[in-house]
Amino acid sequence: MSRISKDLSPQLQWEAVKQTTKQVIKSFAIQYVSLRKLALRQLGRKRNCLLRSKPPIAVLQQLLSKIDTIIYSLQQTGARIYSSIEGWGSLAIHQQRTNQQYMETLQPYHTNSEDQPSTDPHRMQLYAQQFYQSLYSTDHVNDADIMEYLNNMTLINK
């Protein structure tokens, strides 16, 4: 992977990382499909050679069951790959997913008269941090309320 320029905004850097990742995944998928097809061809040849050699039935059943299991597994993997590709749909769905992952602006969690939606990456990061801090902060609970709740509980022994 080539170096990503530090002069780019974080969003453009992220887009560059995503593009490189897509290329790596595509390359891996092509290699994987190629190896899977090669393995299926070799196993088919081995199976045919075994059938032509006419070994004893016990040996034939033992070896064929192993080969057929591997062939079935490789075929099912291929079917899952192709169905996921077909199920993922067209370019329009991909474009929609890409648009959903990109945020042009971010509105502050607590709106003051000074705080407006921002396109500045640093301010957007601050807004996101404030939101998640408030989301995961603990709420104050009165000790008397806890004691009242615990006193109203009954334990059942079985």
On whether the pTM is more than 0.85, the answer is no
Task: Give the separation between CA 130 and CA 42, rounded to whole angstroms.
Answer: 58
Task: Give the separation between CA 47 and CA 55, rounded to whole angstroms.
Answer: 12
The answer to whether residues 80 and 114 belong to one domain is no
What does the pLDDT look like over 100-127, one tens digit per residue? 556 677 788 776 657 788 888 888 888 8
Q: Give a yes or no: residue 94 inside a domain.
A: yes
Domain boundary among 53, 79, 100: 100
Amino acid letter at 101?
A: Q
Q: Are 16 and 4 in contact (CB under 8 A)?
A: yes
Q: Give a yes or no: residue 96 inside a domain.
A: yes
Task: Give the separation between CA 74 and CA 87, rounded to whole angstroms.
Answer: 20
156: containing domain = 105-158
The answer to whether residues 109 and 96 belong to one domain is no
- Number of neighbouring beta carbons within 10 Å of residue 63: 15
The answer to whether residues 88 and 109 belong to one domain is no
The position carrying tokens 């990109």 is: 102
What does the pLDDT look like over 36-54, one tens digit per residue? 889 888 988 888 888 888 8
Count: domains in the chain = 2
The answer to whether residues 93 and 114 belong to one domain is no
